Structure 1
Amino acid sequence: MKKNEEWNGQVVLAISTMKEFEGFLDSRFTWGVLMEFHIALLSGMVNAAHRQGKKILFHLDLLRGISTDEYGCEYACQKLGADGIISTRPKVLETAKKNKCLAILRLFLIDTRSLERGIGLCNALEPDYVEVLPGIACGILSYIRERTGVPLMCGGLIRKPEEIENCFRAGACAVTISNRKAAEEFSENNDTREE
């Protein structure tokens, strides 16, 4: 299965508290991204998720007690069992790829200059995915996809099921969201439409 087929239509829960993590374990969602956690908790969380058949991404730039460089990434992949790494840092993503973890470039769209720089970085790095932020700016996805050919995710400022739908309609293969209620409502509505 190609990576973009595996992720087609995925809603990825952004998790920053233990309560959210416990909710993720009981949810229908397969993928979660850990942020704001201390390194001492990560191994146990990954093991618990894997026992439930779930996959864990680390937003390496937003975790505590782990270096946000290639050494921290190598540790996250090899010792902590991360299934993928999200970062804005090129060396981190290169290391993730070398360690057979998904490498997801986080691209912040602030203005045209940041967009063009991000496209250049994407073409140089060839990450597995690019997460475009804010996700509500999904109208720019076709432009980025044409210039890079990399599967795109959306995240940031997405609060409603309709906004998730808009991201998928614009060509995102996955959407990252911290609002589990909106994610579940979107997922339930999608199930109903497919029946």
Structure 2
Amino acid sequence: MISKQNIIPVITSMKGLEAFLRTSLKVFILQDVHINHLKDMIKMAHEAKKEVIVHIELIQGLANDEFGAQFLIQQLHVDGLISSKPKIIEMTQKNRCLGILRVFIMDSKSIKRSLQLIEAIKPDVVEFLPALIYEVFPTFINDIKAEVWAGGLVQTPYQIQSIFASGIKRITLSNLELAIKYAEFN
């Protein structure tokens, strides 16, 4: 499992990584970078005692499949992987790496399908998008055995408070300053 940090920033560039490394935050999500930069970015993070979760579907030049996941886990030693693909989550867990299933909620049917999928593959973590549907989270997240995160479109302190009040354990967001200001480590 990763460090107890309730807000996890998303880093999308070397400049963003350098800014993150100057913070007291321990965990981040890496996405929207080219595979050529990935090894150096992960190495920098690990040398600074930071934990790296990679969104495999959003790495340019990397296969979004089990082989890509194996490369990230076995060669680059990532701390966790995010994917919407069950096969990647299953392979990630077999390799003793944190498997985060990303799920998009659009309507009540997508909630039902998502709950069936979560029950079938048993990911370590489920991340729901968009986080701004926090008013409906209490109607279904209590039945999920995995840790539940939410992300997407979070921009204000009020939204952060409301999302946590709905029962979500961690929030992912792309605004590093907001993450620094509101992150807790318990």
Which of the numbers 33, 46, 50 marks the counterpart of 2:46?
A: 50
Aligned-pair distance for 1:40?
Answer: 1.5
2:73 pairs with 1:73: no
**Unmatched 5+ stretches in structure 1:** none
2:180 pairs with 1:184: yes
**Unmatched 5+ stretches in structure 2:** none
| Inter-partner Cα distance in structure 2 for 1:130 and 1:101 | 14
1:59 equivalent in structure 2: 55
* SS of equivalent to 2:154: coil
Aligned-pair distance for 1:169?
Answer: 1.7
| Inter-partner Cα distance in structure 1 for 2:57 and 2:157 | 27
Higher RCO (C-alpha 8 Å, min separation 6): 2
> Once the two structures are superposed, what CA deviation does each residue of 1:109-141 show, in whole Å capped at 9, x if it has no partner?
111111111111111110001001111112232
Count the aligned residue pairs: 185
Normalized per residue, which structure has more helix? 1
| Inter-partner Cα distance in structure 2 for 1:116 and 1:133 | 15
Aligned-pair distance for 1:14?
Answer: 0.5
Aligned-pair distance for 1:174?
Answer: 1.0
* SS of equivalent to 2:69: helix
* SS of equivalent to 1:66: coil
Which of the numbers 78, 83, 94 marks the counterpart of 1:87?
A: 83
TM-score by length of 2: 0.93
Which of the numbers 94, 101, 110 marks the counterpart of 1:98?
A: 94
2:115 pairs with 1:119: yes
Matches within 5 A, 1:158-169: 158-169=154-165
| Inter-partner Cα distance in structure 1 for 2:6 and 2:45 | 17
Quick one: percent identity of the two aligned structures? 32
TM-score by length of 1: 0.89
Q: Could you tell me whether the CA contact under 8 Å between 2:21 and 2:48 is conserved in 1? A: yes
Q: What RMSD, in angstroms, separates the aligned Cα atoms of the two structures?
A: 1.7
